[in-house]
Amino acid sequence: MSSRKYILALDQGTSSSRALVFDKGGNICSTAQREFPQIFPRSGWVEHDPHQIWASQASVVAEAISTIGINGHDIAGIGITNQRETTIVWDKETEEPVYNAIVWQDRRTADYCDHLREEGKVDFIRDKTGLILDAYFSATKVKWILDNVPGGRRRAEEGKLLFGTVDSWLVWRLTRGEVHVTDVSNASRTMLYNIHTLDWDQELLDLFDIPRSMMPDVRSSSEVYGHTTTTLFAHKLPISGMAGDQQAALFGQMCIEPGSVKNTYGTGCFLLMNSGDKPIRSENDLLTTIAWKIGDKVTYALEGSIFVGGSVVQWLRDGLKCIRSSEEVEELAASVPDTDGVYFVPALTGLGAPWWDQYARGSISGITRGTTTAHIARAALEGIAFQTYDIVRAMERDSGLSLANLKVDGGASRNNLLMQFQSDILACEVLRPRITETTALGAAYLAGLAVGFWESIGEIQSQWQVERAFTPFGDTARVAKQIEGWHKAVEAVICQYPK
C-alpha cells in the first residue's frame, strides 16, 4: 500500500479542463475547472487549440493541488480521462501542432465517409473496429489533416509527425516528449485499431493513408506509462491510469460485471454496458468498444449514444423560454401529473442509437387546447428517458443479458422526476451514487491500482455507495401504452424526413 495520500485525476473535456484530487476513500478533496475557447471555422467544423487544452489543464492542476496545500510528495499517481476521438497531429521535434485539434463533433469528413460507404467499406471497418463508419471517429480526421496541411503528408511519411487523441497529447506534454502512448479504450475509438488483434490495423492504416510511424504505443488502462518532467511538479510523478471519458465513468461506477450498465446524462447521453471478455457485434446499430484493460485482461463494452439529452432542457430555457434556469424544469414538469398525451421527440440534431437518422428533426405531438408549458417540459424529460429505454433494450437483445439495474451520473441525473420515470419505464432500479464525478473517479481508480494506492478492485468496489435508489412503481399496462405512444412519435419523425 502506498504511503502517499492522494491520487490526482485530470479530466480533459470538450468545453473545459478539470483536475480533481481524491483520497484513499475515493472522496474528492479538491477540484478546479477552467473553460477554453471553442473554434468554429465553418458550419459543421469544430476545433480546439491544443496549446489551450494543455494550458487550461496545467492551470487547474496547479490550482487543485495548491488549494489543499499539497505537493508531489503527497501524490501517488496521476490518472487521465479525456474527450474521445478528438484528433491532434504534432511535430515530434518542435512539439508544435500542425493544425488545430479536430473535435469529435466535427463533421467535415462526412462526405468522405459517404464515399467509403459507397465503396462498400462499412462491414470491413466494423468487423475490425466494432464501430459504425462515421466522421465522429479519428481516422478520417487524421487523413484530412495530412491531405490539407501543406507538407503534412510528406512530413508524416518522413516520420516527423505524431498523431494522438487528447490523452496522448497530455502525456507527451507532461513528460516533455519522452512518452508517446495511448490506452486501449482511446485506441478503440480511432477507427484504426483492431479490437480483436489488439493492434493498429495495417489495412485500415493503408485505407486512410496514415503512416504507422505516427501512431502511439497502445498500453493497458492501468500501468505506469512514464513520469512527469514538467515544472508543474517539484518531483517526478508516475502517470499510471488512462481511459476515454465514458469508459472511465463505467469503471468509476464499478460496472465490472458483464451486463452492468451506466448512463451519463449530460448534454447528450452515453450508455455503456460491460459485455465481458469478448466483443459482441451489435445487430442493433450500437458500437462495440473496449472498456479497459487491466493486467492481461481486456473488458469490452456495448455503447449507445443519445445526441440530445440534457441539452433539450437548455432548449426549453433558451429557445422556448419557458424556464429561466435549467434547475427550474423539474418543478415545472412536476406541476402536472402526466404529459396528457404529449410526446416530445428531441431530435434537435438528428437521432442517435439505435435509430441513427441524421435527417430526423424534433417534434412535439399530441398537443391540445389544454396543453401547457408544464406538459411540454414533462414530455421533454420523458423523451430523454424513452431514448435511454430504446438503447437499453437494444443492449439486452445484443448481449442476451437482462438489466439488473441502471447506474446513473451526469448533471441531469440530479433530476428526481426524470430518474423516477426512468425507473418506471425500465422496470428496474435506477441507482444514483454518492459521488457523481464518476469519470474522474474512474481515472483515479485506474491510476491508483497501478501504483498500489488501492490493492484491488474489490477494495475499490466497497467504496461505491448509493445516494438514492429509484424503484419502479407504475402500472405495467400504462407504461406499455406510454412506450407504444413514444415509438409512434419516433416513427412519425423518421417518416416525415426520409433519407
Arithmetic mean of pLDDT, 453-459: 92
Q: Residue 269 has which C-alpha cell? A: 447521453
Within 8 A by CB and 6+ apart from 143, the residues are 109, 112, 208, 209, 210
The dihedral built from the CA positions of residue 303, 440, 60 and 31, taken in this order, carries a sign that is: positive
Q: What is the pLDDT, as a whole number, of residue 112?
A: 93
At 358, the pLDDT band (50, 70, 90 cuts) reads low
**Phi and psi for 470 in degrees, rounded to 5?**
-105, 125
Question: What percent of the chain lies above the pLDDT cut of 70?
Answer: 98
In DSSP notation, 176-213 reads: TTS--EEEHHHHTTTT-EETTTTEE-HHHHHHHT--GG
Mean pLDDT of the chain: 90
Q: What's the CATH code, domain 6-236?
A: 3.30.420.40
Question: What's the pLDDT tens digit per position in 33-91?
Answer: 998 888 889 887 889 999 999 999 999 999 999 888 887 788 999 999 999 999 999 99
Please state which of the ranges 238-242, 247-251, 325-329, 468-472 shows the lowest mean pLDDT.
325-329
Q: Residue 89 has which C-alpha cell? A: 497531429
Higher per-residue confidence, 5 vs 360: 5
At 265, the pLDDT band (50, 70, 90 cuts) reads confident
CATH architecture of 253-433+465-499: 2-Layer Sandwich (3.30)
Question: What's the pLDDT tens digit per position in 394-403?
Answer: 999 888 888 8
Higher per-residue confidence, 418 vs 284: 418
Is-same-fold flag (6-236; 253-433+465-499)? yes
What is the residue extent of each domain of the chain? 6-236, 253-433+465-499
Please state which of the ranges 121-130, 187-196, 430-439 shows the lowest mean pLDDT.
430-439
Between β-strands 101-102 and 47-48, what pairing exists: parallel, antiparallel or unpaired?
A: antiparallel
Q: What is the pLDDT, as a whole number, of residue 152?
A: 94
Question: What's the pLDDT tens digit per position in 196-243?
Answer: 999 999 999 999 999 999 999 999 999 999 999 877 777 789 999 999
Task: Could you list the beta-strand ranges (E) of 71-229.
Answer: 75-82, 88-91, 101-102, 161-164, 181-183, 193-194, 199-200, 217-219, 222-227
